Amino acid sequence: MLNFAMRRILMSILVAITVSIIAFFLVRVSGDVAIALAGEEASAEDISEIREIYGLDRPIIIQYVDWLGKAVQGDFGESLFFPETVWELVATRLPTTLRLALAGLVISLLIGIPFGVIAALRPNSWIDRLSMTIAVAGQAIPTFWMALMLMVLFGLMLGWTPISGDESWQHFILPAVTLGYYSTPPIMRLTRSGMLEVLSADYIRTAYAKGLHPAPVLFKHALRNAVIPVVALASVQFGHMLSGAIVIESVFAMQGIGYLAWESILRKDIAVIQTILLVVCLFYVFLTVLSDLLNAWLDPRIRVS
Amino acid sequence: MKLLKRTLFAALGLAMTASPALAGKDDDTLVWITTFEPPTYNYYDQTLREGTILSRHLWDSLFWRDLDTGEYVPHLATKIEFADPKTIDITLREGVTFHNGEKFDADDVVFTLTMVNDPENKMANRNPVRWISKAEKTGEYSVRLTLDKIFAPAIEYLSTSVVMYPNEYYQEVGKDGYGRAPVGTGPYKAAEVVPGKRLVMEKNENYFGGGKGQANIGKVVMRFIPEANTQIAELLSGNADLIWRLSKEQGEKLSSRSGVNVVAGETMRVGYLQFDSAGSAGETPLTNVKVRQAISYAIDRKAILDNLMGGGQVIDLACYPTQFGCESPDAPKYAYDPAKAKALLAEAGYPNGFEIDFYAYRNRDFAEAMMGFMNQVGIKASLQWMKYSALRDKVRADEVPFNFMTWGSGSVNDIANITAYFFDGRADDLALDAEVKALLDAGGATIDPAERLKNYREALRLIAERAHWLPLFSYAYFYAMSEDLDFQTTPDEIVHLYRAKWK
């Protein structure tokens, strides 16, 4: 188990470094950072001065090594655009994104698991088809569009929720529903297939044969086993939500790291982009490792393989 | 994507049937939503348009360019005069105080100009004061500015983008502290700064007035929302009184809505086609003046303006019409004439047209329309779509034969910030026309208006005649506002909220 965990963690570090290298060079090849910082009307003199002030005139490899060297010591540098350090910026914005992602995950579990169970109990019935329709729609509808539709309906026409911002829990309702709905289908489908498999297992048949009431059979014996892979999937979905927050936070004007990432990409604020990518990547890697370990712990066959 | 947009507009249209609850007038609070929050409220340490707009509200310049007449009138200074072309003497207004009660005097002017100009202070927006080499106090209310070289638009700068900071307060709170709690002399004072969410400005009851006059509305809340559709939803729900920079499509949709007024505000931003007349990017048909003229005749600028922009005006000279020096009655104009374009191409040796790379970074629909017009006379333009910074890089590296770009002149109402900039022989000059450069240099080397006008007139004539540029049109932004709000747009791309009032 320890070897397994070490292998996964080592692999994760390599993934994080690779992502940071790719991101760094992609930002640099997409145009001159100094021009983006100076603004469209900047003169060549302004741009040259900014290039010098921020050390953007140095070779790109040196800039990357310099950034990496400081980053491993916990110094993520200063934003090229904001007066704060990168870490201050990210630390200020991260709680909003985590709250949003967590709320989204709860919503997707609250929708996905019950519908998955019901669909499995009545396979090929109208409720199963309805669940499948919801699942397909959730995957097919772009989150951007979904967000605006919800905003128009509940924020503008009905006036039940705030339209944008992140100042109260009510502000999180529409963004969390949007984000959660997108993650619902895989949870719903995995719950359904897991339940179908478990419900046909011998021990369930035995439980019924012993005369147990259907509710304990369903919830105590069947669901507990069927949702094991769902728990692992949910941790990965949480990672998806962190990256999905870029669109959602921009649409709802929420001050999370997703919105910060969007702003920084637009302005080529490379130190901020790098740090956000690293943070999201580390979260994702951590959650993936957690999911692997959880699976391995729950299912000894994975450890052996 | 188009289908998505249509559905969205349909939904917004449906939402528009709900009655609006436009607020603001009752509590004398104007809520303006814009896209970006300045990274800091230290005006000289940021480069965003929103920061420039705030500079007119929280701070003041020495003189003021009257927005209706274009005249320079006294503001923080009562007199500005040239002792010689490189020395400017300024007499300051007495009795002005900053929002924190600090007295405004010569020390503030000297401090502001010296501090911003010092590279050690790493101010991101040094451009407004870079031309001043020294500022010295000559009395409690008088200052002398010394320049290394003549700077023709000096008065324009001193009347718009050069604003004054309080020296004592700034030194007390420092660069970052000032960016979080700015203090100026302007018609509004910063009452609340909530990073990422809003800036609340309250009317400065002790404002001296000057050229701007007193603000009308008691409180202005500036909010930041990146997504235009969200801004629209906030306006329609009554949570905002003013939004701007809407597309023509969005503006037209909103204009049918009762309770909302939509206006297309013309701006100083000019769209242009720039030809590599000098052949720096390699030998192409564009080095032939007849080819450049043919393209100029081939494009129906008015059609693009009317159908795609929805505002603005066709521009014939390489500058914006209100800018000082932007007049040249003898310059040729290129009205839409495809037959003439074909004839010129034939004369140039391209009767069947040619193929060329065409670079652009914004308004893809405009670029494609222009390609369609060129195609009608046989020119097959291949669109190279890039980000602004990448394209600007490429232009400066002499790798672009033909581009469609825009320029806003930094809201400076002087030809020095556009024509002289693009034809000065440096990296952005693709014409490298020595005669034009000499004329523009001569215009910039004097502060005598008549002399400047004479040189600029001839330079603009040559630029048009030799078709180094095809000026296209000025840009228009759509503003949508509550019907209770009386707000006038201005071409400087600045939202002057202190002029707004309730109906």
Please list the residues that pair with B79 across neighbouring strands. Answer: B91
Six-digit token pair at A55? 């050390």
User: Residue B120: closest CA among chain A residues belongs to which residue?
Assistant: A53
- Give me the tens of pLDDT residue by residue for chain A, a chain 305 residues long: 677 677 777 877 787 778 778 877 777 776 677 777 777 667 777 777 777 777 777 887 888 888 888 888 888 888 877 878 898 999 999 999 999 999 999 999 999 999 888 888 888 888 888 888 887 887 788 888 999 999 999 999 999 999 999 989 999 999 999 999 888 888 998 999 888 888 888 888 888 888 888 888 888 788 878 877 888 788 888 888 887 888 899 999 999 998 998 888 877 788 888 888 888 878 877 887 777 777 777 666 665 55
Distance CA B291, CA A288 (A): 61
Q: Output the pLDDT for position B482.
A: 95
**Strand, coil or helix: B152:** coil
Q: How far is CA B10 from CA A156, A260, B308, B323, in A?
A: 14, 30, 20, 41
Question: Phi, psi at residue B145, to the nearest 5°?
Answer: -105, 135
State whether residue A65 sits within 8 Å of chain B by CB.
Answer: no
User: B332, B328, B393, B404: which is closest to B363 by C-alpha?
Assistant: B404
Total length of chain A? 305
pLDDT above 90 (res B426): no
Q: How far is CA B420 from CA A96, B319, B443, in A?
A: 48, 10, 9
Residue A5 · residue A53 · CB < 8 Å: no
Average pLDDT over chain B reads 92
Distance CA B487, CA B503 (A): 10
User: B62, B113, B65: which is closest to B92 by C-alpha?
Assistant: B62
Distance CA B408, CA B37 (A): 20
A 159-178: CB under 8 A from B: 159, 163-165, 167
Distance CA A52, CA B214 (A): 42
Mutate to test the interface with B, among A32, A97, A156, A170 (most CBs of B within 10 A): A156
pLDDT tens digit string along B289-333? 999 999 999 999 999 999 999 889 999 999 999 999 999 999 999
Residue bearing tokens 């297992």? A201
Residue B264 · residue B491 · CB < 8 Å: no
Distance CA B234, CA B224 (A): 11
Q: Which string of DSSP letters, residue by residue, matches B28-70?
A: TEEEEEES---S-S-GGG---HHHHHHHHHH--BSEEE-TTT-
pLDDT above 60 (res B16): no
**HEC per residue, chain A:** CHHHHHHHHHHHHHHHHHHHHHHHHHHHHCCCHHHHHHCCCCCHHHHHHHHHHCCCCCCHHHHHHHHHHHHCCCCCCECCCCCCEHHHHHHHHHHHHHHHHHHHHHHHHHHHHHHHHHHHHCCCCHHHHHHHHHHHHHHHCCHHHHHHHHHHHHHHHCCCCCCCCCCCHHHHHHHHHHHHHHHHHHHHHHHHHHHHHHHCCHHHHHHHHCCCCHHHHHHHHHHHHHCHHHHHHHHHHHHHHHHHHHHHHHHHCCCCHHHHHHHHHHHCCHHHHHHHHHHHHHHHHHHHHHHHHHHHHHCHHHHHC
Q: Output the pLDDT for position A273.
A: 85
Helix H or strand E encompassing B449: helix B449-465
Any long-range contacts for A218-222 (C-beta under 8 Å, 24+ apart)? A218/A117, A218/A121, A222/A195, A222/A198
Distance CA A252, CA A246 (A): 10
Q: How far is CA A98 from CA A108, A186, A241, A273, in A?
A: 15, 21, 9, 18
At B377, the amino acid letter reads: V
Six-digit token pair at A18? 């690779």
Contacts of A204 (CB under 8 A, 6+ apart): A198, A217, A221, A222
Residue B214 · residue B242 · CB < 8 Å: no
> Do B230 and A44 lie within an 8 Å CB cutoff?
no
> Do B176 and A83 lie within an 8 Å CB cutoff?
yes
Average pLDDT estimate for B23-48: 90
Contacts of B3 (CB under 8 A, 6+ apart): none
Average pLDDT estimate for B457-480: 96
Half-sphere exposure of A94 (CA within 13 A, CB side): 14
Q: How far is CA B167 from CA A195, B111, B126, B204, in A?
A: 72, 6, 17, 20
B 160-179: CB under 8 A from A: 175-176, 179
B 371-400: CB under 8 A from A: 386-393, 396
> Do B48 and A250 lie within an 8 Å CB cutoff?
no
- Measured between CA atoms, how close is B477 to chain A, in angstroms? 17
State whether residue A95 sits within 8 Å of chain B by CB.
Answer: no
Residue B203 · residue A142 · CB < 8 Å: no
Mutate to test the interface with B, among A82, A143, A164 (most CBs of B within 10 A): A164
User: B53, B54, B35: which is closest to B225 by C-alpha?
Assistant: B35
Q: Output the pLDDT for position B183.
A: 97
Residue B349 · residue B439 · CB < 8 Å: no
What's the pTM?
0.84
Total length of chain B? 503
Q: Output the pLDDT for position B114.
A: 97
- Measured between CA atoms, how close is A216 to chain B, in angstroms? 46
pLDDT tens digit string along B358-400? 999 999 999 999 999 999 999 999 999 988 878 888 898 899 9
Helix H or strand E encompassing B83: strand B77-84
**Strand, coil or helix: B484:** coil
Q: How far is CA B391 from CA A30, A164, B202, B397, in A?
A: 10, 34, 41, 10
Vertex B296 angle, CA B290 and B302, to 5°: 165
Distance CA A89, CA B226 (A): 18
Distance CA B277, CA B466 (A): 9
Distance CA B20, CA B257 (A): 9
Q: Output the pLDDT for position A299.
A: 66
pLDDT tens digit string along B214-272? 999 999 999 999 899 999 999 999 999 999 999 888 999 899 888 899 999 999 999 99
**HEC per residue, B338-395:** HHHHHHHHHHCCCCCCEEEEEEECCCHHHHHHHHHHHHHCCEEEEEEECCHHHHHHHH
> Do B11 and A152 lie within an 8 Å CB cutoff?
yes
Residue bearing tokens 């020495």? B62
Please list the residues that pair with B134 across neighbouring strands. Answer: B146
> Do A41 and B409 lie within an 8 Å CB cutoff?
yes
- Measured between CA atoms, how close is B208 to chain A, in angstroms? 32
> Do B233 and A79 lie within an 8 Å CB cutoff?
no
Average pLDDT estimate for B6-11: 51
Average pLDDT estimate for B62-86: 95
State whether residue B192 sits within 8 Å of chain A by CB.
Answer: no
pLDDT tens digit string along B135-194? 999 999 999 999 999 999 999 999 999 999 999 999 999 998 999 999 999 999 999 998
User: B106, B114, B65: which is closest to B89 by C-alpha?
Assistant: B106
Interface contacts (A, B; CB < 8 Å) = 123
pLDDT above 60 (res B45): yes
* Torsion region of A36: left, alpha or beta (phi above 0 gives left; psi -120 to 50 gives alpha): alpha
Contacts of A72 (CB under 8 A, 6+ apart): none
> Do B225 and A253 lie within an 8 Å CB cutoff?
yes
- Residue B107 has what DSSP assignment? H
pLDDT tens digit string along B438-447? 999 999 999 8
User: B419, B487, B409, B414: which is closest to B159 by C-alpha?
Assistant: B414
User: Residue B36: closest CA among chain A residues belongs to which residue?
Assistant: A263
Cβ-Cβ contacts under 8 Å, B407 against chain A: 41
pLDDT higher at B18 or A289: A289
Six-digit token pair at A54? 């921020």
Distance CA B485, CA B480 (A): 10
Please list the residues that pair with B501 across neighbouring strands. Answer: B486
Sheet holding B142-146, edge to edge: B77-84, B87-92, B142-146, B134-139
Six-digit token pair at B285? 């048909």
Residue B20: band (very low, low, confident or very high) from pLDDT cuts 50, 70, 90: very low
pLDDT above 80 (res B9): no
Distance CA B289, CA B297 (A): 12
